[in-house]
Structure 1
């Protein structure tokens, strides 16, 4: 059930942003998105018992760039938010790789089985590269296509791409999963 809550908390605001944009336009949709992101953060605390670091950063950027979008009546700000977010994640993870500190472990460890350190180092590097690709892809889409296409890409391109990339990490996770110690079973003698 927690995985369903997590999916709704993470994907729900994007779906609402997509629908709101089609109904009321980018500026009103941005205001709605800001409110829904804050509601998602509260829901995360209530339903999952915590607010992830990634969510704090994402909500902070949505509020800052969303406010700038509305204040200046310039959609460029909200379009830049994903590039900045992805770039921050990439820089943090790749710095962790350089320092031999898999920062991704701090974010993801609770949702994974115990794994050997090498798995965390590899995942840290892979996700760092993935976020670079996402930042570049966001830049390409918002600069070359309409706002409606950019918003649709958030839902129909970036979300599935993230899911597929996460699933592609399963062989790595399985390969380096630590064996759990066998429980002592009482003898029937």
Structure 2
């Protein structure tokens, strides 16, 4: 059930933003998106008992760049938000790789089986590169296509792309998954 909540908390605001844009335009949709992101954060605290660091950063950027979009009546600000978010994640992860500190472990470890350190190092690097790719792709799309296409890409391109990339990590996870200790196998405690 927690995975369903997580999916709704993460994807819900984007779906609402997509629908709102088609009904009331980018500026009103941005205001709605800001409010829904804050509600999403509250839902995360209530339903999952935590607000992830990634959510704090994302909501902070949505409020700042969404506020600038509305205040200056310039949609460029909201379009830059994903580029900045992806770039921050990429820099953090790649810096972690350089420092031999796989920061991605702090975010994802609870949802994964125990793995060898080399798996975390490799995943950290791969996700860092993936976020660079996403930042570049976001820049290309918002600068090359209209706003409706950019919003549709957020929902129909970036989300599936992230899912496929995550699935592509399964062989790495399986290869470096630690064996369960013999005394824990078959235990019914």
Match of 1:111 in 2: 111
Which residue matches 1:87?
A: 87
The question of 1:127 aligning with 2:108 is answered no
TM-score by length of 1: 0.96
Q: Which segments of 5 or more consecutive residues in structure 2 lack a partner in the other structure?
A: none
Deviation at 1:183, TM superposition (A): 3.1
Taking the aligned partners of 1:78 and 1:121, their CA distance within structure 2 comes to 32
Give the root-mean-square deviation of aligned CA atoms.
1.2
Normalization by structure 2: what TM-score? 0.96
State how far apart, in whole Å, the 2-side matches of 1:179 and 1:48 are: 29
Question: Which residue in the other structure is 1:35 paired with?
Answer: 35
Cα deviation digits, residues 82-128 of structure 1 (max 9, x gap):
00000000000000000000000001011111110000000000000
State how far apart, in whole Å, the 2-side matches of 1:55 and 1:141 are: 24
- Using the alignment, how far apart are the partners of 1:185 and 1:172 within structure 2? 23
- Give CA-to-partner distance per residue, 1:10-69, whole Å, 9 cap, x none: 000000000000000000000000000001111111111110000000000000000000
Counterpart Cα distance in 2 of 1:29 and 1:147: 12
Q: Could you list the structure 1 runs, at least 4 aligned residues long, displaced by more than 2 angstroms after superposition.
A: 182-186
Q: Secondary structure at the match of 2:161?
A: helix
Q: Aligned residue pairs: how many?
A: 186
Structure 1: distance between partners of 2:129 and 2:112: 21
Query: What is the CA distance between 1:182 and its match in structure 2?
Result: 2.4
